[in-house]
Amino acid sequence: MRTLEEKWAAIVFDIVDYAFQPIINVHTGAVFGFEALLRNYELVGFETAQEFFDAAYREGVLFKVELFLREKAIQKFIATGAYEKSKLFFNVDSRIIDMPDYQQGYTAKILARYGLTPHSISFEITERHRFSNLTRALQLLKVTHAQSYKITIDDFGVGYSGMQLLYSIEPDFIKIDRFFISDITKDSKKRFFVTNIVNMAHLLGILTVAEGIETEQEFYVCRDLGCDFVQGYLFQAPTTDVSQLKLKYDYVEQLSRADRRKTSNDQQLIYSKVEFIPQLSSDASVEEVFNYFLENKNSSFCPVTTPRNEPLGIVRERDLKSFAYSPYGRELLKSSGKTLKDFLVRCPIVDINTKAEQMIEIFSRENDDSEGIILVEDMQYIGFLSARSLLSIINEKNLIIARDQNPLTKLPGNTLIHTYVSEGLAAGVDHYSLIYYDFDNFKPYNDKYGFRRGDKAILLFADILKRHFDRDDHAMIGHIGGDDFFLGFKNVEFEDAYRAAREVIVEFTESVKALYDEKDRLNGYLTAKDRDGNLRQFPLLTVSAAMLEIVGEKSFCSMEEVSMILAELKKMSKSNNEKITPATVLRRTTITTISEAVEAPLPQMNA
């Protein structure tokens, strides 16, 4: 009669199987690793994988079964042919530590049999189950981490102990649960949560994986929010046939090329600022660390990478000074058993393809004594961006902005406005409202009162825009030139955007009266020559606005068409009591005529 162990060994090695799903670099499409997902459990009577593990737990063989499964997954991982450059992400049932036969060290023996090292494995710890003994679990996870295994928190944000795990074990990866990814294109709260998860992770030197990507729009949002890796059916369904897996998914690069929002030249600027600081391998001795700082006297820190050149963090010279300058410091350090890893400090890790603004945002959240950011390409260490380099990038970006600023109002000019509108038209899920303001009766006012008074009117309008929107993360203001201005909203409800745009008109119309002489102000008009040289009465200054909302998923509308539509809307606004004419362009609609856009259905406005 077979023992329980023999029964489960037969199930694992003869019946159940693993499907692999790639974890892909969000910028390049290169595969970083594969998650192993249990399959064929229904062939032995289980409806779900969870039932499979529950049965092993009840029979007291969960740890042994998991070891069998690890070996099976490792065998399949080797069969991919990508094991030297990628990682195996293996889900761990946290209940194994409750098993009486639980011991550490078995996985290392399995890996050794197949010629692999712990650097090849990332253990996924799910948030969905409570640890029976959280303190013990955290201690064991720290030991596992110290043995060079990677740790991933799976299902982050939907289960138990996530923040405590994040704080206590300093995982290498966080997987953002599908709950937050589903409908992220429509749900601003989910975008808010994912943004903050990503920012927090990067601040702690942790990389993020967006799980369950199923649409191009979800991909774009997750990429733009700063996720490092993506995983989902959009790229590759889980498959038991490893021959279907790729080392690189060109579809990711195709999506980026198709995305016209990616107009930044940041990569060239960032490359020019990279400092190549020699790194040490994580298996280096403490003596080698001392020698490193002796040989690199200008370095206050040293980047540390795995033997695969994947960054882990930095070692700071100041943390070793108490040993370096003590008569017996080195000997004491050797005898203490401390290794390089005991002095390792986490540091933000950022891909070279990341926008400069995101890098600066990550750095700005760091502590005052932060050294900077580790830069990677396809997760390979390529250099370091020090605080000095990042400040230089900020200065150059500010110079670019300054060159484009309108000299009178100091508002962004046509280059930045053009970029913003291009983003609004590009493939993606964000909805934009574009407002074009144009003064009414400005020429006769300028002719009568002179350019200085005319400039005051322009500055008054610019100040109103700044006061209302300068600190609004969802708004962009600009000065097209002369008496033409721009206001844009991103992901703001149409009614709210309309109301805000209308308030600007009302405030300017009232405030600008102070720039008239008392007689003209009381009359409600001024007398000046028209374009034909005839004297006539002109109403007081006001402003008209054309408002175009861009919604949908993919734009077939060009910049030229947008300009034509806005010009037509502006004409309509001149004779409109509200002084603003809105319209909507559906991104999936090809605009064939201006009237088609102007007559497009609008959201219902409240009275």
Instruction: Give the residue among 561, 542, 544 at the shortest CA–CA distance from 600.
Output: 561
Tokens of 96: 């194994």
Residue-by-residue DSSP string for 539-595: EPPEEEEEEEEEESS-----HHHHHHHHHHHHHHHHT-TTSEEEEEEETTSPP-SHH
From CA 55, how far away is CA 62, in angstroms rounded?
A: 8
What pLDDT is recorded for position 590? Answer: 40
* DSSP-based three-state secondary structure for 154: strand
From CA 36, how far away is CA 77, in angstroms rounded?
A: 9
Is 200:208 a contact under the CB 8 Å cutoff? no
Q: Name the superfamily (CATH) of residues 270-394.
A: CBS-domain (3.10.580.10)
Q: What is the pLDDT of residues 86-140, one digit of tens each?
A: 999 999 998 898 899 998 899 999 999 999 999 999 999 886 666 767 787 888 8
What pLDDT is recorded for position 420? Answer: 87
Q: Name the superfamily (CATH) of residues 4-258.
A: EAL domain (3.20.20.450)
Rounded to 5 degrees, what are φ and ψ at 249? -105, 100
Is 312:306 a contact under the CB 8 Å cutoff? yes
The strand pairing partners of 478, in sequence order, are: 486
Q: What is the pLDDT of residues 361-386, one digit of tens each?
A: 888 776 666 788 999 999 999 999 98
Instruction: Give the residue among 209, 129, 214 at the shortest CA–CA distance from 175.
Output: 209
Parse the chain into domains and list their residue ranges: 4-258, 270-394, 406-598
Instruction: Give the residue among 422, 342, 351, 341 at the shortest CA–CA distance from 383.
Output: 351
From CA 372, how far away is CA 351, in angstroms rounded?
A: 14
What pLDDT is recorded for position 391? Answer: 85
In the chain (607 residues long), the average pLDDT of successive 10-residue segments reads 84 95 95 97 94 94 95 96 94 90 92 94 80 78 88 80 77 94 87 91 93 92 92 96 94 75 67 91 86 87 93 90 68 74 89 86 74 92 90 84 88 90 71 91 92 95 94 89 94 89 94 94 91 89 91 64 84 81 58 39 36
Q: What is the pLDDT of residues 540-590, one digit of tens each?
A: 999 999 998 887 655 556 777 788 888 888 888 887 777 887 877 654 444
Q: What's the fold here for domain 406-598?
A: Alpha-Beta Plaits (3.30.70)
Instruction: Give the residue among 361, 354, 360 at the shortest CA–CA distance from 382.
Output: 354
Q: How many residues does the chain have?
A: 607
